[in-house]
Amino acid sequence: MNTVVDTRERILTTARELFHGRSYADVGIKEICDLAKVQKGSFYHFFPSKQDLAMAVIDDMAEDWAHGFVAEAFDRNLPPMERLDYMIDAAYYWQKAAKDIEGRMPGCLFGNLALEVSTRDEVLRAKLNAVFQKASSQFHETLDEAIEQGQIAPLDAQATSQAMLAFLEGIILLAKTRNDPEVIRTLGPAIKTLRVELPMEN
Amino acid sequence: MNTVVDTRERILTTARELFHGRSYADVGIKEICDLAKVQKGSFYHFFPSKQDLAMAVIDDMAEDWAHGFVAEAFDRNLPPMERLDYMIDAAYYWQKAAKDIEGRMPGCLFGNLALEVSTRDEVLRAKLNAVFQKASSQFHETLDEAIEQGQIAPLDAQATSQAMLAFLEGIILLAKTRNDPEVIRTLGPAIKTLRVELPMEN
């Protein structure tokens, strides 16, 4: 294995796990280096600052999401509204697996970071906003298809897709606060009832 | 004015503002003491630990909420479903006012803290969970009344009230990430479309 890639990967994986399980401010570079068995000099070679590291962690997680459970849930071969059920299921099993291992439900790394850093780091805020925009575009496509196929009545697909993403983040937030992934399974299916109506024509 | 009360209040107000505008981990006791013009010894007299301070901040904010915008929005004299519109409006104007002053939308202090500390502070997690339980009971009462008056079709009021609270937290999260309170106003009214159906009878 390429040692350079390996070192960078080790830092990334360690940081992602710690940020996700605790918080951004709570985890120091020294701790990451110690756990990843990397010298500080080497760390700064790859990541000039903690912010650079966070940017890479977000990219890494977004990449995994896009090719992992989001790709599976938003499979074009599934009937559009069924994709939403898959997505809720995937979120539930993901959080349940994490809790089974750690004893604590970690929630959504993007949501966690967004609430923690948005008021004080404009670069990270913009990055997280872009991740959410991309995620809501998946909902948007799904809704467009569902309308086209006559499975749901026409609605404001742009706004409804954002409302659905907000709901997903909200149920994960509530589930994390209760430390109970079942909240996602109980409340999740209501995502399909959300509707922002089209503006009325005059 | 009573000096003891005054000192405690100054610490509380300062901490609440800093935690809300930044994060729990990002704000140190020294900074709070400096800004509140309080000696460290005096601080520890009122709050033996930072956790004790956070508990008091949550109580203080919950109290303000209960007597402030929640009481106004969930006014029993309003038709039940209109209360939800008031609640969204109140959340929007609250966040807008904060952004107009600070340049940054702070979000919901409870949601912020819940995502930041739930995996590593069981006491604060339980406290925040209790705040959310109380908040969702307001939605629950509203839904019960709306069903009783025949304004909405029967539904699982317990689960739907939690879904509504989750949605509220979710749209505030998304709005904070976009640093744009308008997100609350655009997506908020969809809260009334959320439904968790009653379990089907066999």
Cβ distance B146 to B83 under 8 Å? Answer: no
Q: What CATH number did the domain enclosing A111 receive?
A: 1.10.357.10
Query: Residue B198: inside a domain, yes or no?
Result: no
The answer on B29 and B101 residing in a single domain is no
Q: Which carries the bigger pLDDT value, residue A164 or residue B73?
A: A164
A103: left (phi over 0), alpha (psi -120 to 50) or beta: left
Is this complex's ipTM strictly greater than 0.85? yes
The answer on B176 and B78 residing in a single domain is yes
- Å from B56 to nearest chain A CA? 18
Nearest-by-Cβ selection for B173 from A22, A114, A195 = A114
Query: Residue A202 pLDDT > 60, yes or no?
Result: no
List pLDDT tens digits, range B84-143.
Answer: 999 999 999 999 999 999 999 999 999 999 999 999 999 999 999 999 999 999 999 999
Residue A201 confidence (pLDDT): 66
The length of chain A, given as a count of residues: 202
The answer on A72 and A42 residing in a single domain is no
B174 touches chain A (CB under 8 A): yes
List pLDDT tens digits, range A56-86.
Answer: 999 999 998 888 777 888 888 999 999 999 9
Q: What's the pTM?
A: 0.96
The answer on B136 and B99 residing in a single domain is yes
The mean pLDDT value of chain A amounts to: 94
Residue A149 confidence (pLDDT): 96
List pLDDT tens digits, range A21-66.
Answer: 999 999 999 999 999 999 999 999 999 999 999 999 999 999 988 8
A168 touches chain B (CB under 8 A): yes
Q: Which carries the bigger pLDDT value, residue B199 or residue B194?
A: B194
The answer on A121 and A90 residing in a single domain is yes
Residues on chain A touching B187 (C-beta within 8 angstroms)? 159, 162-163, 166, 196
Residue A65 confidence (pLDDT): 85
- Å from B72 to nearest chain A CA? 23
B26 touches chain A (CB under 8 A): yes
- Close Cβ partners of B193 (under 8 Å, ≥ 6 residues apart): A193, A194, A195
- Å from B107 to nearest chain A CA? 7
Nearest-angstrom CA–CA distance, A164 and A193: 9
pLDDT-based confidence at B5, cuts 50/70/90? confident
Query: Residue A56: inside a domain, yes or no?
Result: no
The answer on B187 and B90 residing in a single domain is yes
Buried residues in A13-38 as b, exposed as e (16+ CB within 10 A): ebbbbbbbbbbbbbbebeebbebbeb
Residue A39 confidence (pLDDT): 95
pLDDT-based confidence at B8, cuts 50/70/90? very high
Residue B65 confidence (pLDDT): 85
Closest CA to A196 of A149, A148, A139: A139
Residues on chain A touching B160 (C-beta within 8 angstroms)? 190
Cβ distance A36 to A10 under 8 Å? Answer: yes
Q: Which domain holds residue A155?
A: 68-193
Show which of residues 120-149 on chain B sit within 8 Å of chain A, judged by CB atoms: 120, 125, 128-129, 132
User: Cβ–Cβ of A25/B26 closer than 8 Å?
Assistant: yes
